[in-house]
């Protein structure tokens, strides 16, 4: 059985525009927007809360569930389960919080040139193989 202290569930937004995926940089790693699921919180509430914290004044439209990816967090080395949802932004993306930088990632063939978490890298490769991003 997995040690719950060493296990994390995250809910992440797949925001794709013109086949480019929105990614955020936290600490030293590029990851998907979203974050840790809190106790007794459902996926949708988590995603809205996290996007509100990371990108203030951003109106997120959650479309549908994509897939769940498993991996290890880069800093704390915890087991990670990342549930991904396709989302759209209504209007403009709000101001990013001080803790993050955001950009649209333009080419999956360059994934090795960036410091992505391994889980995020797996998600990018999967989206690319399905023709959803460049």
**Tens of pLDDT along 64-78?**
999 999 999 888 888
pLDDT surpassing 90 at residue 34: yes
Q: Is residue 48 part of a domain?
A: yes
Q: With 70 as the cut, is the pLDDT of residue 5 above it?
A: no
**71: buried, middle or exposed (CB in 10 Å: 19+, 13-18, 0-12)?**
middle
* Residues β-bridged to residue 33: none
> Is residue 84 one of the residues assigned to a domain?
yes
CA-nearest of 27, 49, 23 to 102 is: 23
In a domain, 58, yes or no: yes
pLDDT of residue 36: 92
Q: Which band of pLDDT confidence, cut at 50, 70 and 90, is reported for residue 1? A: very low
Does residue 82 lie in a domain region?
yes
**Domain count within the chain:** 1
Write the CATH number for 70. 3.90.79.10
Residue 13 belongs to what domain range?
Answer: 4-129
| Residue 35 within any structural domain of the chain | yes
- Tell me whether residue 134 is in a domain: no
- Which one is predicted more confidently, 43 or 98? 43
């Amino acid at each position: 059985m997995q040690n719950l202290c060493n296990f994390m569930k995250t809910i992440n937004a797949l925001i794709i525009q013109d086949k480019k995926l929105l990614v955020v940089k936290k600490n030293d790693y590029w990851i998907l927007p979203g974050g840790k699921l809190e106790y007794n919180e459902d996926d949708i509430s988590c995603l809205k809360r996290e996007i509100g914290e990371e990108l203030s004044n951003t109106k997120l439209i959650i479309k549908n569930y994509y897939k769940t990816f498993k991996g290890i967090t880069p800093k704390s080395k915890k087991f990670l389960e990342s549930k991904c949802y396709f989302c759209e932004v209504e209007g403009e993306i709000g101001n990013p919080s001080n803790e993050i930088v955001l950009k649209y990632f333009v080419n999956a063939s360059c994934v090795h040139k960036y410091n992505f978490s391994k889980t995020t890298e797996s998600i990018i490769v999967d989206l690319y193989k399905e023709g959803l991003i460049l």
